[in-house]
Chain A
Amino acid sequence: MMVNIDVNGKEYKKDIEPRMLLVSFLRDELNLTGTHIGCDTSNCGACTVLMDGKSIKSCTVLAVQANNHKITTIESDDPKLDVIKQAYVDENGLQCGFCTPGMIMQTFYILENNENADEEYIKKNLRGNLCRCTGYKSILDSIKKAEEKMKGEISVSK
């Protein structure tokens, strides 16, 4: 089946099997291997990407469901993602790094939806992402730092 999927602002037309999962489409067809397959059962969130600005688990979405939709992955060059990535580096928000692409995409989603996300809001919205190394403290710190930086940059540009 022919699909037309916008990934990170670039349109891809591909002939794929309907049973192909979105995460496999990204990794195997487009060679965008930043999006990880973790549990493969929609529990861990390592495969989180945005579809039309909303975070989804790409291991439980068929690529054909993304036909004519916009997908944003960890490879996107959105400057806000750079701020988040740097915050994860600064605050040691990762250890083995396997969950990190999903964590960063969910962070992006959280901060896009709530400029004033407090700790409770962040925790509630990070429920779909598992990390087996950090104990989450440094991830929370990274998200808060990214949030502060984004606010700072907005007020500077004003």
Chain B
Amino acid sequence: MYPDKFEYFAPDSISKLEQLLDKYKDDSKIMAGGHSLIPLLKLRLTSIPYIIDISNIKDLNFVEYNDNLEIGPMTRTAEVASNKIIRDKCKLLSDAASKVADPQVRNMGTVGGDICEADPRNDMPAVMLALNAEFEVTNSKGSRIIKAEDFFEDAYTTALESNDILTKIIIKNTENYYGKYYKYTTLSSDFAVFAIAINMSLNGDKTVKDIGIGLTNLNNTAVKAKDAEDYLKNKRIDDKTCNDAFNLLLKSCDIEDDINGKKEDKEKILKDIFVNGLKGIYKVF
């Protein structure tokens, strides 16, 4: 299968990238690893006249920690999974990255591509929601910050304008946090049937200080289980709070019967995964 014809650019700096985006606007698209874009092009589900490969831009590929964890969008998923700084500072992110697709895909795919493509089945959007991450977005007029919860608007739709570049992922909730990514898949697919990202910190009295919960493939796009988060703050994790939190979490979901199972079955599995996940993370502290 061959994609439709396109022109290809591989700029080596952000300023050159900005110029290309200003010139070609909606006719162009940024490609990072290409592992969401190239399949869409090959299946001719989309056709893009100007493709701009950002893999030669060194300023988009970094992992740093100074008070906050800062990650360049061009960082490959395999690097996110194995990077020592990320492992030390953000267990949820390294855990989730190690569960994305398969090794070959992780070697090409990038954290920024996963976020910006905003496929409802992609893993990183829910993780970013659970981490309350912030995205530095740049275009030729300047930079601004978009919070993860304002970023994902619908399936394949984000708050990015056609000339915007995701230039930095900023994660503040790292110190004293612990989290995991619970991904439910069938054997035949590497995409999640659904998944839950949880990032938690506790008060001295073992009540929840802060919690972030992101949901993959449980709605049109990745969503934050805001009601469940608010409810769990300053509470202990036990059978009752888990149960109540799950009922609130369901409000953030839009679960339907599909090829993977009936609504009621999926809810049952979701509950098991959520409750065991909460308890498992709580035990670590």
Contacts and interface: CB of A to CB of B under 8 A. Distances in A.
Given A1-B8, A60-B39, A62-B38, A125 B103 contact: yes
Interface string A45-64: 10010010011110011101
A33 interface: no
Interface in B18-60: 34-35, 38-39, 41-43, 51, 53, 55
Nearest to A64: B8
Contacts of A54: 78, 107
Contacts of A17: 5
B103 A62 contact: no
Given A40-B1, A57-B104, A60-B108, A18 B38 contact: no
A42 B42 CA distance: 11
Contact of A128 (B4, B6, B7, B102): B102
B11 interface: no
A76 B208 CA distance: 55
A57 B39 CA distance: 12
B6 A19 contact: yes
A42 B78 CA distance: 16
Name the interface size band of chain A: 20 to 34
A128 B102 CA distance: 5
A127 B190 contact: yes
Given A19-B3, A21-B2, A42-B39, A65 B104 contact: no
Contact of A106 (B10, B42, B53, B104): B104
A48 B7 contact: no
A42 B37 CA distance: 12
Contact of A62 (B8, B39, B101, B102): B8
A128 B105 contact: yes
Contact of B107 (A40, A56, A62): A56
A48 B35 CA distance: 14
Contacts of A20: 2
Contacts of B102: 45, 127-129
B34 A42 contact: no
A116 B1 CA distance: 38
Residue with the highest number of chain A CB atoms closer than 10 Å, among B39, B53, B107: B107
A102 B255 CA distance: 37
A25 interface: no
A46 to B, nearest CB: 11
B53 A128 contact: no
Contacts of A62: 8, 34, 38
B86 to A, nearest CB: 18
A109 interface: yes
Contacts of A109: 103
B57 to A, nearest CB: 14
Residue with the highest number of chain A CB atoms closer than 10 Å, among B41, B78, B104, B108: B104
Contacts of A65: 34, 53, 55
Contacts of A56: 104, 107-108
Contacts of B41: 19
A41 B1 CA distance: 9
Contact of A42 (B3, B8, B35): B35
A57 B42 CA distance: 14
- Ranked nearest first, the 8 interchain pairs of A and B with the lowest CB-CB distance are A128-B102, A18-B8, A54-B107, A127-B102, A128-B104, A19-B3, A57-B104, A55-B104
11 contacts: A19-B2, A24-B2, A42-B104, A42-B105, A55-B103, A61-B38, A62-B34, A64-B10, A65-B34, A125-B103, A128-B103
Given A48-B104, A128-B103, 17 more contacts: A1-B8, A18-B51, A21-B38, A24-B2, A40-B42, A42-B35, A55-B107, A56-B104, A57-B105, A57-B108, A60-B35, A60-B38, A60-B42, A64-B53, A65-B53, A67-B10, A127-B103
